[in-house]
Amino acid sequence: MHEEETGVMAKMSFEDAATRYGAEPGGGAPTKVKITFVDSQGQARSVEGEVGSTVMETARRNDIPEIAAECGGACACATCHVYVDEKWAEKTGKASQMEEDMLDFAFDVKPNSRLCCQITVRPELDGLVLTTPAQQG
Amino acid sequence: MNQLKEAAIETDVVIVGAGPAGLFSVFELGLLDIKAHVIDILPRAGGQCSELYPEKPIYDIPGLPVCTGQELTDNLLKQIEPFHPTFHFNEMVETLVSLGTAEKPEFRLSTDAGKIFHAKVVFIAAGGGSFQPKKPPIPKIESYEGTSVFYAVRRMEDFRDKNVVIVGGGDSALDWTLNLQPVAKSITLVHRRDQFRAAPHSVSAMQELVAAGKIDFKLGQITAVEGEDGELAGAILKGNDGVVEKLACERLMPFFGLTMKLGPVADWGLQLNENLIPVDTEKFETSHPGIFAVGDINSYPGKLKLILSGFHEVALAAQKAHRYVYPDKKLLFQYTTSSTNLQKKLGVS
Ligand SMILES: Cc1cc2nc3c(=O)[nH]c(=O)nc-3n(C[C@H](O)[C@H](O)[C@H](O)COP(=O)(O)OP(=O)(O)OC[C@H]3O[C@@H](n4cnc5c(N)ncnc54)[C@H](O)[C@@H]3O)c2cc1C
Ligand code: FES
């Protein structure tokens, strides 16, 4: 999916978006990985993320609370802030310059902070654990 | 009361929001001789397109294979120029009160800057809501807002001879650090890292002030505030090095960008459905005659939050608005291509 489309998709319901852009891949089993979101109260939710989509999209599709993603993935709102579990920091990689700049607009930023619309789901992220902050916007 | 009436701005229509739907409303209403005042809390036109993705390409505007958010805004502004809309930026519409009847609606709107408008019809093009400053999760911060904690500077005098703490690394944080430095007693700039997204010349100007000992710079974040009765006495800084210290200050300015909040629209007595305003799909009118809702803020079966939907909606809403503004005039369907009347309005005949 093109990055530009993600904004529109987030603004529509995902059913709408799927119909409009044919986002659900037809044929061939898509590769899925397990992603766990731990909320600010400590409750964990594990969901399936589709390789190629972003972690933010995965969260939205599964109604994960504490991910607002107001700009729909344009790296323009800092309301998809997550803390990456230490063990996964290396695999998720570092924030780009643009993402670092946007992180200035997130609250309680820590060394393991990321904007999850900027993390693409890859097979090696199977098992990824993220924590969400209490306040995004 | 009389005084208010005198001060009020009289107009055919007030458009709440200067996003793409609000801007194109000016065009469609203008073709029908309906004069518009447009109000937006942002300092410029364009709504989400200019605020969230000015440089990103849009591919689904009919007839425009590709244009950026800012290009679309600039083109819309050019397109509506012939109708001379009056813009009121940096102002939030706070109240909307109905004065008229269902057949002859009339409305009174007021902004947070104290302006009053009297309008025959209202177009709510408020999109995802008004862009408002993000408020950091500091306990009890609300009780200091407007007296000691500010998200924007309305009056420089509020900062004269005060100890001011400014948080952030963007243009707002740096601009106000530089502008308030000569006025304030002291300025401490707090930021999470020693890099700044603000314009390079502001950054170097700030760094010179730090080097000259005229302002303080601290790496870290503010986690708590102290004071009483809305009067701030100090802010607790947790440094990146883990050291916690108290910064004595009477003013705090956090700059964490903007977020979209439905805002005052929720209090206007309109029917709401999950923070959206239900409308019919013939006239895009709300539960209140004379108040229309167009663009992202409305909802109806099958609604798609796309710019092109907003364009369609405003054209149809304008037709009904005409009946309210000119109850005795018959509306002729005309093309801009061939109607000399429309072309005169567009200044192209
Ligand atoms: C990243 C991203 C990419 C997108 N890409 C596309 C795309 O490719 N194609 C497409 O068609 N759409 C796209 N969209 C959606 C599109 O931007 C919106 O549909 C469009 O901006 C809606 O226009 P609008 O005028 O209804 O509202 P908005 O653009 O949200 O503007 C509303 C304005 O009203 C103001 N306002 C609200 N309340 C008040 C008040 N009380 N007082 C004063 N002012 C007020 C706000 O400050 C704001 O400026 C995208 C959106 C995003 C975030
Ligand atoms: S969704 Fe807006 S920055 Fe990630």
Question: Could you write out the DSSP letters of every residue in B322-346?
Answer: HHHH-TTPPPPP--TTT-HHHHHHT
Q: Count Cβ atoms below 10 Å from residue A94 Cβ, excluding itself.
A: 9
Asked if residues B19 and B46 have their Cβ atoms less than 8 Å apart, the reply is: yes
CA-based nearest residue to B118, from B17, B18, B29, B6: B6
DSSP reduced 3-state for A103: helix
Residues with Cβ within 8 Å of A8's Cβ and at least 6 positions away in sequence, in order, are A17, A72, B60, B305, B306
Per-domain residue ranges of chain A: 1-29, 31-131
Residue A105 has its nearest CB partner, among B134, B137, B260, at: B134
Asked if residues B286 and B293 have their Cβ atoms less than 8 Å apart, the reply is: yes
Asked if residues B200 and B169 have their Cβ atoms less than 8 Å apart, the reply is: no
> B169 vs A76: CB contact, 8 Å cut-off?
no
Is the distance from the beta carbon of residue A73 to the nearest atom of ligand 2 less than 6 Å? yes
Asked if residues B135 and B258 have their Cβ atoms less than 8 Å apart, the reply is: no
Residue-level pLDDT, tens digit, chain B, 349 residues: 444 445 899 999 999 999 999 999 999 999 999 999 999 999 999 999 998 888 889 999 999 999 999 999 999 999 999 999 999 999 999 999 999 998 899 999 999 999 999 999 999 999 988 888 999 999 999 999 999 999 988 889 999 999 999 999 999 999 999 999 999 999 999 999 999 999 999 999 999 999 999 999 999 999 999 999 999 999 999 999 999 999 999 999 999 998 888 899 999 999 999 889 999 999 999 999 999 999 999 999 999 999 999 999 999 999 999 999 999 999 989 999 999 999 999 999 7
Q: What is the CATH number of domain A31-131?
A: 3.10.20.30
Q: Is B195 on the interface with A (CB under 8 A)?
A: yes
B-chain CB neighbours of A104 within 8 Å are 168-170, 191-193, 197, 256-257
ipTM: 0.75
Asked if residues B268 and B110 have their Cβ atoms less than 8 Å apart, the reply is: no
β-pair partners for B259: B132
Question: Whole-angstrom Cα distance, residue B210 to residue B220?
Answer: 16
Q: Please say whether the dihedral angle defined by the alpha carbons of residues B179, B181, B186 and B190, taken in this order, is positive or negative.
A: positive
Residue-by-residue DSSP string for B84-108: -PEEE-S--EEEEEE-S-SSS--EE
Percent helix, strand and coil across chain B, each to the nearest 5: 30, 30, 40
Asked if residues B184 and B165 have their Cβ atoms less than 8 Å apart, the reply is: no
* One-letter-per-residue 3-state SS of B27-89: HHHHHCCCCEEEECCCCCCCHHHHHCCCCCEECCECCECCEEHHHHHHHHHHHHHHHCCEEEC
Percent helix, strand and coil across chain A, each to the nearest 5: 30, 20, 50
DSSP reduced 3-state for B10: strand
DSSP reduced 3-state for B204: helix
What's the DSSP call for residue B145? B
What's the DSSP call for residue A87? G
Question: Whole-angstrom Cα distance, residue B49 to residue B293?
Answer: 19
Asked if residues B254 and B135 have their Cβ atoms less than 8 Å apart, the reply is: yes
For residue B17, give the ligand 1 atom closest to its CA.
Answer: 34
Is the distance from the beta carbon of residue A119 to the nearest atom of ligand 2 less than 6 Å? no
Residue A55 has pLDDT above 50, yes or no: yes
Question: Whole-angstrom Cα distance, residue B287 to residue B300?
Answer: 13
Residue A98 has a pLDDT of 93
Residue B137 has its nearest CB partner, among A16, A101, A134, at: A134
What's the DSSP call for residue A116? G
Look up the pTM and report it.
0.81
When the pLDDT of each residue in chain A is averaged and rounded to a whole number, the result is 84
Q: Is A11 on the interface with B (CB under 8 A)?
A: yes
Pull the structure tokens for residue B109: 């709107």
Beta strand B116-124 with B130-133 is unpaired
Using alpha carbons only, what angle is made at residue B122 by residues B121 and B125, rounded to the nearest 5 degrees?
150
* CA-based nearest residue in chain A for residue B170: A104
Q: Map tokens 């005098």 to a residue.
A: B157
Asked if residues B246 and B234 have their Cβ atoms less than 8 Å apart, the reply is: yes
